[in-house]
Amino acid sequence: YDISLILNLEEGSFTFHGECSVKIEIRNTLLNNISLHSKELEVNEMATTLINDNSTVYKHKHSYNNVTDILTLNFENAISLGLYTLNMKLALYLSIVFTKLVL
């Protein structure tokens, strides 16, 4: 993984925006989708790319399961065996209640 994050901490909220690049090796079988845990994350579908070693970009659509918090990238064509890079832009928005601890 290569991850870069920009944090914004303000009273009452916590946000980050980031980019992540994940190296993937598909070894055993052709795939039509890749599933990732993504609770609380907003993943930019337009900025998500899967690229093989020959610089081929694979087209996909996102689907999200609200019960399991799984993001699935569904590909138009099967993904062959080989090495890939998955690039994503992410955002996380949380509301945090800050309290003062007095001893």
- pLDDT tens digit string along 54-86? 998 998 999 999 999 999 999 988 999 999 999
Virtual torsion, Cα 34, 40, 46, 48, nearest 10 deg: -40
The contacts of residue 23 (CB under 8 Å, 6+ apart) are 1, 83, 84, 85
Is residue 8 a contact partner of residue 93, using CB atoms and an 8 Å limit?
no
Whole-prediction pTM: 0.81
The contacts of residue 65 (CB under 8 Å, 6+ apart) are 72
pLDDT tens digits along 25-61: 999 888 899 999 988 889 999 999 999 999 989 989 9
Q: Sketch the domain layout of the chain as residue ranges.
A: 2-28+42-60+78-94
